[in-house]
Amino acid sequence: MIIKPVIDGVVARSAHPLGCEQAVLNQIEYVKASQPITNGPKRVLIIGGSSGFGLASRIALTFGAQADTISVSFEKKPSEKGTGSAGFYNDYYFKRHAKRAGRVAVNIHGDAFSQQIKDDVVEAIETYFEGEVDLVIYSVASGMRPKAESGQFWRSAIKPIGQPVSGTTLVLENDQWHNSTLEPATEEEAEATRKVMGGEDWEAWIDALINSESVAKGCKTIAFSYIGPEITHPIYLDGTLGRAKIDLHQTSHALNLKLANFDGGAYATVCKALVTKASVFIPGLTPYIIALYKVMKEKGTHEGCIEQMQRLFSSKLYGGEQVPVDGERLIRMDDWELDPETQARVKQLLDEINSDNFMQLGDYQGFKHEFLNLNGFDIDGVDYSSKIDTDKFIK
């Protein structure tokens, strides 16, 4: 069959296998041409390694530091009903190219929140890594988390806290500017969001690894966060997402004390705003992103996932004697985004952008291009008119 992009609102319903492979290969080539990661980890566990920062981390460390990796992901497999998710193909093709490069690449498919998957990972560490890991990356992006043994779920809610907030979503399905108002979250919704997106499961993973004696001397762990400029705070930092991220930051301090016993450390890593499968849902954030992309591309400071992760590992986490952090012990990969000159120009653009001119004034085309790329579409070098044997992937 010929696979075409299918977008429902801001959700991709199809993925292109060969496009996903080319996207992985493009990231591999970027890493090979970049500054090597010196003194980097050799045995890496990535919890959520099939897309976004998790996948970019896996590629950067495999091809920039010659690391072996185990990745946990929960992706939709192809079937007679659909193509499956992009993350499924990312896992599939990453493993193929890592093995060709002589690296160990283990894919474990299942719910990262479950105890069974934690047990499976410990077993894989014993089998493939001689029992220990040097780095644990927590990059889980999920909208819900099961409650142990009850059959029920905590579900995250992207909402403000205290007051309603109005914002704009850019609807990718029909390139429309859509205004909406979000009512404030209940305390129950805010707490559920913290349970899903905070640091509790990250800590559970590290505890499981410590208890199974799977932590190597000098082991580090990181999780990804976002803070953003003041203009995004009402819907992000001051809302349910922000509460979850603050919990994540606090968890990093607790984990840092635990890993100090192994001469290691734990860090929350604050990244730049990007087009992700999650960020396109957040009202008010997408106009900011198209303005930010416009300005940072003009200044030559724009970074995608792979550029940020390559810089993180080569110049920050493994770049010297000490890991550079701010006053709250955060690794700041958003330093270029929050540059005062950049933010002043972004604010000026946001004052001018509206429903009639957002395609001209902002980088909407770049925004949509990156969204399509996440799902294997709009990538140079891929023949999208060729038929794909989907039965091969189903088998």
User: Is 277 marked as binding a ligand?
Assistant: no
How many C-beta atoms lie closer than 10 Å to residue 240's C-beta?
27
User: Is 313 marked as binding a ligand?
Assistant: no
Distance CA 376, CA 360 (A): 25
User: Is 132 marked as binding a ligand?
Assistant: no
User: Is 226 marked as binding a ligand?
Assistant: yes
User: Is 295 marked as binding a ligand?
Assistant: no
Helices (H), the chain: 17-32, 52-64, 86-100, 115-128, 187-197, 200-211, 240-260, 285-299, 305-311, 340-352, 358-361, 364-374, 390-394
Query: Which entry of 30, 93, 138, 236 is annotated as an active-site residue?
Result: 236
For tokens 């979503």, what's the residue?
A: 169
DSSP-derived secondary structure for 318-385: SSSSS----TTSEEES-TTTT-HHHHHHHHHHHHH--TTTHHHHS-HHHHHHHHHHHTT-S-TT--TT
User: Is 212 marked as binding a ligand?
Assistant: no
Distance CA 1, CA 6 (A): 14
Paired with 47 in beta bridges are 72, 138
- The three-class DSSP label of residue 79 is strand
Distance CA 181, CA 188 (A): 20
User: Is 52 marked as binding a ligand?
Assistant: yes
Six-digit token pair at 345?
A: 């120009």
Nearest partner of 185 among 235, 232, 225, judged by Cα: 235
**Catalytic-residue membership of 288:** no
User: Is 136 marked as binding a ligand?
Assistant: no
User: Is 362 marked as binding a ligand?
Assistant: no
User: Is 330 marked as binding a ligand?
Assistant: no
**Which stretches of 127-175 are assigned E, i.e. beta strand?**
133-138, 144-146, 153-155, 165-171
Q: Return the CA Rg of the chain.
A: 20
Q: Tell me how long the chain is.
A: 395
Q: What is the DSSP letter of 161?
A: S
Q: How far is CA 268 from the centre of its chain?
A: 13
User: Is 50 marked as binding a ligand?
Assistant: yes
At 385, which amino acid appears? Answer: S
How many C-beta atoms lie closer than 10 Å to residue 133's C-beta?
24
User: Is 245 marked as binding a ligand?
Assistant: yes
User: Is 53 marked as binding a ligand?
Assistant: yes
Distance CA 1, CA 388 (A): 5
Q: Are 221 and 206 in contact, with CB atoms under 8 Å apart?
A: yes
Known catalytic residues? Answer: 236
Annotated binding site for substrate: 226
Annotated binding site for NAD(+): 48-53, 74-75, 111-112, 140-141, 245, 274-276
Annotated binding site: 48-53, 74-75, 111-112, 140-141, 226, 245, 274-276
